[in-house]
């Protein structure tokens, strides 16, 4: 995610901005910039790549300022480049922004119609021009910003300065984090605490739809009507390292809890429940071309491959499109049957996995169109593909993929819905129903996390010393069984296997004994009874059963050793919810076994070599 910093006070703002951005580097970024008052003007310096490039751009210059804002950009709209880096300027208005503006295209067109000239591809630049438009009508920065923000749809945390008002900076948020640090006649704004902790432990947290006007005299917080809002001052007890993890013990746990946000940000701006439609224009493949597709081939590695297996089910059930799934390292060497009527969908969090990139190139060479479902803007996969559907999970620091996986499932669901509406296999009412259920998933995920974590920790204590686990599921949840096993394997180093529950009698049942915990994914769906009988078979052989069932189903409460209830949803969306407790189970077992959860042995976050 992007990082925002700002400073106003008696110290030199420039080093404080740079140091603050450094403290936000862990959030992941691809460009950076600062804007600071000096000589009665706002000076902007921006650079692509790491902060050291920005430092090089300003080194040797006497930069003295008492007010400035800075930004590290994690690209969502527009590739990583200097012109897309923040801060963005429109006349005397300069803005830094973290979030996604859904209606920026319409606003940009309106502003261009009023004579505004844009220099970047970003959604953020629209905010600067919109505020400028209102200042041109006589509003001060506070009023102009408030009016501009009311026109935005989406998520934002912003910092704003106006060359004509060198005594203040403005901060506001709706759906993006923003904290205000309180010093002695000096104040700080930041996306996250690490940027300000070395200066102050006194903080004000803005809430959604609040705005702060900050001068050296103090901080005035209002709502979006301009009415004053009383804010408590929090004494921050975290050290900077704890703060980077948001108070969580590991990045992986933080990212597990970020999933409601990652899912929301991935569908934000791409659906209309009102009209029952999905918009994936950014994919860059016309509806006419999609109609001609005879087969979709999904390729990936690891967790992303599990997402592809679920994507196949979605595409075949919702879009009635024949779909195949291949592990990328297999696909690239098996002389696959691919032609111009094939659409290759590569799913890759990093966008840099060597085997997946090679599979994309192979498919392209054979005449297929390619789409990347990717989490990193401007990555190799994103650049090589004919079209991209970005997941907006933000940077995933933990090597074990969690929020990227559920964001991939969200993107695949949108893609399947888009294919269904283009190919006419679902009517508008059906698409609307699918969208309505999707919109509920983030809240259901949030509730699930709060409901199950304590119980999962207890179960982790019971089984953390086991040497083998078996994960079983059917249909949409067979790949979730694979994913649950992979999560456990890669961070706790326990041998674990995922299997289709129906396959148990064809081998794995020989493994069952009282030392073998068996995890059952048992949502109330069309194959529930069959899977429930597999559970009985495991129990009758002394296996220990951990079952994940749909809320309201109490039929297994006395048959499984441990039962967890997962909110009800439709079959295509059930993997998102079922994956979450399995991530927590793997996490807590790994913690109990003392593994390096965020950096497990032998693993890399992105396997960029074969």
Instruction: Give catalytic residue positions.
Output: 2, 605
CB of 531 to ligand AGP, least distance (A): 25
To ligand AGP, the closest distance from the beta carbon of 395 in angstroms equals 12
* Residue with smaller CB distance to ligand AGP, 98 or 303: 303
d(CA 567, CA 552): 9
Helix or strand or coil: residue 362? Answer: helix
Specify the residue, 373 or 422, whose C-beta has the smaller distance to ligand AGP: 373
Burial of 110 (0-12, 13-18, 19+ CB in 10 A): middle
The CA distance from 232 to 206, in Å, is 10
Please give the Cα distance from 412 to 460 (Å, whole number): 31
Handedness of CA 367, 369, 371, 377 (dihedral sign): positive
Measured at the CA of 549, the angle between CA 545 and CA 550, to 5 degrees, comes to 175
Distance from C-alpha of 496 to C-alpha of 574, rounded to nearest angstrom: 22
Residue 606 C-beta: closest distance to ligand AGP, Å: 5
Compare residues 178 and 374 and give the one whose CB is closer to ligand AGP. Answer: 374
**Count of residues interacting with ligand AGP (CB under 6 A):** 15
Q: Between residues 353 and 445, which has the closer beta carbon with respect to ligand AGP? A: 353
| The two three-digit tokens of residue 542, written as one number | 């002394």
User: Mask: binding to ligand AGP, 279-308, rule CB under 6 A, as x and -?
Assistant: ----------------------xxxx----
Question: Residues 38, 65, 401, 595: which binds ligand AGP (CB under 6 A)?
Answer: 401
Q: At its nearest, how many Å lie between ligand AGP and the CB of residue 401?
A: 4
Write down the H helix ranges in 24-103: 51-58
Name the residue among 318, 358, 309 with its Cα closest to residue 336: 358
Q: Interface with ligand AGP includes 124 (CB under 6 A)?
A: no
Rounded to whole angstroms, what are the CA distances from 471 to 237, 519, 581? Answer: 40, 5, 13
Q: How many CB atoms lie within 10 A of CB 428?
A: 11
Whether omega before 87 lies within 30 degrees of 0, making that bond cis, reads yes
- Toward ligand AGP, which CB reaches closer, 545 or 586? 586
Q: Which helix (H) or strand (E) holds 580?
A: helix 574-592
Closer to ligand AGP by CB, 566 or 597: give it.
597
Site for ligand AGP in 422-461 (CB under 6 A): none
Partners of residue 300 on adjacent β-strands: 327
Q: Rank residues 374 and 441 by Cβ distance to ligand AGP and give the closer one.
A: 374
Half-sphere exposure of 186 (CA within 13 A, CB side): 17
- Nearer CB in complex with ligand AGP: 125/490: 490
Looking only at residues 467 through 496 of this chain, which bind ligand AGP when binding is defined by CB under 6 A?
490
The CB-nearest residue to ligand AGP is: 302
| Rg of the chain on CA atoms, in Å | 25
CA–CA dist 598, 603 (Å, integer)? 10
**Is the distance from CB of 65 to CB of 12 less than 8 angstroms?**
yes
| Spatial separation of the C-alpha atoms in residues 339 and 367, rounded to whole Å | 5
The strand pairing partners of 281, in sequence order, are none
Per CB under 6 A, which region of 202-210, 246-254, 343-351, 416-424 contacts ligand AGP?
Answer: 343-351
C-alpha distance across the termini of the chain, in Å: 29
Closest approach of Cβ 279 to ligand AGP, in Å?
24
H helices of 62-184, where? 104-113, 124-136, 141-150
Q: Which residues contact 228 (CB under 8 A, 6 or more apart)?
A: 220, 221, 222
The smaller minimum CB distance to ligand AGP, of residues 301 and 496, is found at 301
Examine residue 412 and tell whether it contacts ligand AGP (CB under 6 A): no
Total count of residues recorded for the chain: 610
Asked if residue 606 binds ligand AGP (CB under 6 A), the reply is yes
Token pair of 347, please? 């799913």
CA distance 7 to 181: 9
Alpha-helical regions (H) of 387-492: 403-423, 428-463, 478-492
Which residues, numbered 344-363, are part of the site for ligand AGP (CB under 6 A)? Answer: 348-350, 353, 356
Write phi, then psi, for 370 (nearest 5 degrees).
-125, 140
DSSP string, 311-361: HHHHHHHHS---EEEEEHHHHTTS-----TTEEEEEEESSS--HHHHHHHH
CB of 511 to ligand AGP, least distance (A): 24
Q: Which is nearer to ligand AGP, 349 or 550 (CB)?
A: 349
**What string marks each residue from 360 to 399 as x (binds ligand AGP by CB under 6 A) or -?**
---------------------------------------x
CB 565 within 8 A of CB 551: yes
Nearest to 224 by CA among 214, 210, 213: 210
Q: In the complex, which residues of this chain contact ligand AGP (CB under 6 A)?
A: 301-304, 348-350, 353, 356, 399-401, 490, 606-607
């Amino acid at each position: 995610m992007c990082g925002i910093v700002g400073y106003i006070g008696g110290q030199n703002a420039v080093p404080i901005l740079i140091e603050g951005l450094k403290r936000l580097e862990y959030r992941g970024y691809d460009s950076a910039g600062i804007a600071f008052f000096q000589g009665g003007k706002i000076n902007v310096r921006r650079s692509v790549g790491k902060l050291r490039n920005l430092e090089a751009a300003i080194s040797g210059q006497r930069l003295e300022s008492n007010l400035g804002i800075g930004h590290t950009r994690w690209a969502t709209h527009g590739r990583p480049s200097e012109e897309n880096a923040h801060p963005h300027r429109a006349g005397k208005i300069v803005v830094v922004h973290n979030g996604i503006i859904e209606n920026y295209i319409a606003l940009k067109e309106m502003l261009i119609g009023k004579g505004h000239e844009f220099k970047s591809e970003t959604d953020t630049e629209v905010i600067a021009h919109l505020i400028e438009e209102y200042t041109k009508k006589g509003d001060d920065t506070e009023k102009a910003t408030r009016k501009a923000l009311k026109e935005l749809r989406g998520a934002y945390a912003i910092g704003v300065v106006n060359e004509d008002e060198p005594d203040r900076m403005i901060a506001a948020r709706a759906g993006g984090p923003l904290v205000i640090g309180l010093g002695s006649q000096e104040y700080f704004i930041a996306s996250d605490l690490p940027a300000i902790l070395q200066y102050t432990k006194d903080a004000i947290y803005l809430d959604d739809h609040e705005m702060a006007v900050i001068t050296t005299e103090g901080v005035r917080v209002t709502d979006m009507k301009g009415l004053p809002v009383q804010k408590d001052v929090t004494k921050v007890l975290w050290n900077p390292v704890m703060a980077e993890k948001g108070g969580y013990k590991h990045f992986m746990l933080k990212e597990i809890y970020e999933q409601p946000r990652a899912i929301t940000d991935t569908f934000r701006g791409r659906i209309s429940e009102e009209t029952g439609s999905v918009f994936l224009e950014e994919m860059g493949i016309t509806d006419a071309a999609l109609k001609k597709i005879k087969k979709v081939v999904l390729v990936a590695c690891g967790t992303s491959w599990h997402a592809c297996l679920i994507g196949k089910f979605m595409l075949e059930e919702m879009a009635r499109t024949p779909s195949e799934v291949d592990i990328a390292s297999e696909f690239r060497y098996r002389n696959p049957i691919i032609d111009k009527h094939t659409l290759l969908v590569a799913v890759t969090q990093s966008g840099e996995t060597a085997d997946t990139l090679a599979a994309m190139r192979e498919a392209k060479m054979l005449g297929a169109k390619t789409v990347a479902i990717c989490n990193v803007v401007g990555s190799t996969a994103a650049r090589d593909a004919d079209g991209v559907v970005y997941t907006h999970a933000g940077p995933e620091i933990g090597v074990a993929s969690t929020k990227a996986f559920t964001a991939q499932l969200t993107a695949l669901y949108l893609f399947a819905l888009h294919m269904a509406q283009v190919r006419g296999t679902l009517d508008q009412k059906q698409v609307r129903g699918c969208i309505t259920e999707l919109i509920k998933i983030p809240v259901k995920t949030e509730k699930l996390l709060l409901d199950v974590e304590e119980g999962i920790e207890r179960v982790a204590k019971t089984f953390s010393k086991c040497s083998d686990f078996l994960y079983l599921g059917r249909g949409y949840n067979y790949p979730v069984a694979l994913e649950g096993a992979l999560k456990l394997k890669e961070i706790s180093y326990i041998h674990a296997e995922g299997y289709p529950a129906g396959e148990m009698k064809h081998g794995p049942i020989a493994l069952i004994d009282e030392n073998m915990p068996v995890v059952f994914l048992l949502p109330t769906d069309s194959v529930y009874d069959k899977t429930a009988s597999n559970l009985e078979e495991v129990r009758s052989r002394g296996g220990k059963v951990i079952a994940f069932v749909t809320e309201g189903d109490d039929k297994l409460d006395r048959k499984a050793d441990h039962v967890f209830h997962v909110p009800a949803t439709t079959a295509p969306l059930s993997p998102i919810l079922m994956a979450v407790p399995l991530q927590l189970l793997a996490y807590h077992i790994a913690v109990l076994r003392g593994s390096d959860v965020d950096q497990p042995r032998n693993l890399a976050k992105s396997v960029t070599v074969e």
